[in-house]
Structure 1
């Protein structure tokens, strides 16, 4: 291959960039789980320093020189992918001034702390100035990154979901929305209330049960750890993949399904191809694909009738009587359809409606059509129109999510795209393994995880996201399998 030495130099440089990204991730994990409150100002400076180093590495002019010198025609596929990803990283870095990159990191760190403090008293007015400063910087970044004929918002979206535009999402989300609204209305008309838990579930037992779930879903504890956080998350890759969960003493399913969700992310990261570790080709394909792994674990598997049979018996052994007398009661409780305020607690029918609302609001924020000062009012009006409930306070409204405080604009739509991908993968898995529910009823997920290892995890970023899902399933992804799955599942739970 012409340019072999140049490729070796490029690969080593890309590994250094990945290492800096991972350091930034660890700073974020520590801030959410371990950092003392008085460390906030220092953390902002630390984040800024790492951001400066990361920007310098990705803007290094040698990247362009190395890429130009490498002949990818006839080279191994992973070489071409790494070169293409290097060009993208370099282009984004050179379009973003270093000062802006540093200020974004600092302001995101500061805004996160303000969000954490002001949400305790549901004080949006106290949060808004910091959020406004951060959004001003994100708008500036979006304008720097936007390609010709690309909207600023799409420039942010492409960092999380390459090859997808908001116009494409509008089309598929509109079809999905129509199906979800119809299903929600029919379920609401039944007036049926699902069974619920009684008593309290000690935190130490919930944590111990979360660790058991890690074993069940193939999480490598030698390459990870479990902690508590306000907002459950997964962080890291390869040999260091950390997850967080949260505890509700009267509702153990919050911890259980938060943990299973994050395990979907973590098992993906732990099973990326180690042969190309820390290179772009061995990173996740997109955040939509990432979310498909967590939603598949959480919903199609974790909330499925088969797995709920195992879960009922396992909870009985761990906690004693729960107030639910049978596996069927647990299945109904795990799949209760109720209109609520909190996205992370939403059922499968309502969840994507939460995301579609955020998708529209954050586009308006980035375009400048929606000032931050008007965000809470806009949120409350849209929520009442979509869900039929008045928002009682900012904590159960505009301040519930960490994403905007962390500067993650363009991220929210990947949740719904991930649900759509998960619907496609679920159909393909059951077609390939028609007896899989027998294994899941015994708490055995090895077959599903092995299928995902082959078709999703090990392939990393070898092909674009949509192609990856198409290759895995045999058909192009759309909302049809997800809607069919939801219709079948909930028509079996409610007389609709």
Structure 2
């Protein structure tokens, strides 16, 4: 077999595997959005069966034979990435027993319904046993894949942020935390009170305005759709990239800014290089980079003074006079308060939420925290960081879906995304001097085009830190984020 024949066979195998992974994604979307509740047990069996097939494909002995015939130095950039990612997935699949991969898929599919019910009942004890089982399985997976990493957690972190370690991220987030604590103290010392929005806001009107906003942010509804779910998320890629939001009749910002956040993810996926669809080179660079798109859409653009003034006119037309002017609306959108829910949190407290989850999940995976002690550890940490006692489990350790679906190692990418977003927005404004003027008009094609050129179209062909460095001209760190936050909230709160 020649090198060209070996690569062609590998590429065909990878593309079919990628298509099956997309099938799993659609099944996951359906479970959260459309599937009847009594389908949970069937879906767990279906997901387990599909994972069994995928695991076998990833560890297919022919992949090793094909890879042995390929000299990557003779390939183009995309093909080199495909080969490298195939090697990585092959090595991982060969280390993780098939029955373990299948058990994880079945357990996490079944856990979705258990988590949702426990969250509804605000009963952590109803979810703890299945979480303990998932944690045990994830630790077994990490142990099987462990290859000299400093800690077990690093093995799982690499799935979402290649090349990073728990220790490195802890150092970066530690520096960020110090700056956030100082900022929080300045806001509290200012004495300024920004009142929350009050009233009741029609669900259908929220969804209609959310749809309009999604279009403003260049979301292509011919390649996606907007639905409701318990936890907002984005799913899919290229020509089928779907988003969800949730409705709170008393807080329309929850719906609207969840839409903007998920559109950031979805527009990234819709703008991936189509020629590499269903191939590793056409995947996203990392979850930190992915999150940078959603957070930049949501915060640097969506919560800017310019966009808030633009949104205020649409909001008033949809919901009537709320006794606000545009500037008060801007302050209300950016109101700082130590709330319980991460997805509803302001920009100051958001990263403190992420730090809490990062530290707890790292401790669980590394064997330093048992599931039975998780709720108490969560509540103690929240009281220390937010100055409030958690009033119910649904507002505490049960609020996020991530652990129920086995996404250990995912949470720190949210904070990295904030760091990357600030770096990108700083560079974007230098490259496009009319950025703020266009945002004020709701004309976002140019800034989103800049992101497509510098981030989206590269897929996974450039490593994450290098990708951000190339786009911004400097290695990413926390300083642009802290500068942005201090300038913005210093202005709003007058210090």
User: Per the alignment, in what secondary structure is the counterpart of residue 94 of structure 2?
Assistant: helix
Compute the displacement of 1:215 (Å): 1.0
Range that drifts further, 358-367 or 289-298: 358-367
User: Per the alignment, in what secondary structure is the counterpart of residue 243 of structure 1?
Assistant: strand
Name the counterpart of 1:490.
489
Compute the displacement of 1:214 (Å): 1.6
Cα distance in 2 between the residues matched to 1:148 and 1:317: 59
User: Per the alignment, in what secondary structure is the counterpart of residue 465 of structure 2?
Assistant: helix
User: Per the alignment, in what secondary structure is the counterpart of residue 405 of structure 1?
Assistant: helix
Name the counterpart of 1:184.
184
Cα distance in 1 between the residues matched to 2:322 and 2:200: 9
Within 5 Å, give how 1:432-471 maps onto structure 2. 432-471=431-470
Q: Is the 8 A contact 1:195 1:329 kept in 2?
A: no
Name the counterpart of 1:242.
242
Name the counterpart of 2:41.
41
Does 1:340 pair with 2:327? no
Instruction: Provide the TM-score with structure 1 as the length reference.
Output: 0.98
Q: Is the 8 A contact 1:281 1:462 kept in 2?
A: yes
Name the counterpart of 1:137.
137
Cα-to-partner distance string for 1:147-177 (whole Å, 9 max, x where unaligned): 1244211000000000000111011111100
Within 5 Å, give how 1:74-473 maps onto structure 2. 74-324=74-324, 326-473=325-472
Name the counterpart of 1:477.
476
Cα-to-partner distance string for 1:342-380 (whole Å, 9 max, x where unaligned): 111110000000101111100111122111111111111
Cα distance in 2 between the residues matched to 1:151 and 1:29: 32
Cα distance in 2 between the residues matched to 1:473 and 1:209: 33
Name the counterpart of 2:62.
62
Compute the displacement of 1:237 (Å): 0.6
Q: Is the 8 A contact 1:190 1:494 kept in 2?
A: yes
Compute the displacement of 1:2 (Å): 6.0
Cα-to-partner distance string for 1:425-454 (whole Å, 9 max, x where unaligned): 010001111221111101111111100110
Instruction: Provide the TM-score with structure 2 as the length reference.
Output: 0.98
Cα distance in 2 between the residues matched to 1:450 and 1:81: 25
Compute the displacement of 1:5 (Å): 1.4
Structure 1 unaligned blocks of 5 or more? none
Q: Is the 8 A contact 2:149 2:155 kept in 1?
A: no
Cα distance in 1 between the residues matched to 2:171 and 2:196: 37
Compute the displacement of 1:124 (Å): 0.6
Cα distance in 2 between the residues matched to 1:210 and 1:494: 28
Compute the displacement of 1:385 (Å): 1.1
Q: Is the 8 A contact 1:132 1:372 kept in 2?
A: yes
Cα-to-partner distance string for 1:383-433 (whole Å, 9 max, x where unaligned): 111111111111111100000111100000000000000010010001111
Compute the displacement of 1:140 (Å): 0.3
Q: Is the 8 A contact 2:196 2:335 kept in 1?
A: no
Q: What number of residue pairs does the alignment pair up?
A: 495
Cα-to-partner distance string for 1:119-138 (whole Å, 9 max, x where unaligned): 11111111111111111001
Compute the displacement of 1:481 (Å): 0.4
Cα distance in 2 between the residues matched to 1:15 and 1:329: 51
Compute the displacement of 1:49 (Å): 0.5
Name the counterpart of 1:20.
20
Structure 2 unaligned blocks of 5 or more? none
Compute the displacement of 1:334 (Å): 0.9
Name the counterpart of 1:31.
31
Cα distance in 2 between the residues matched to 1:5 and 1:313: 59
RMSD: 1.2
Q: Is the 8 A contact 1:383 1:389 kept in 2?
A: yes
Cα distance in 2 between the residues matched to 1:451 and 1:25: 28
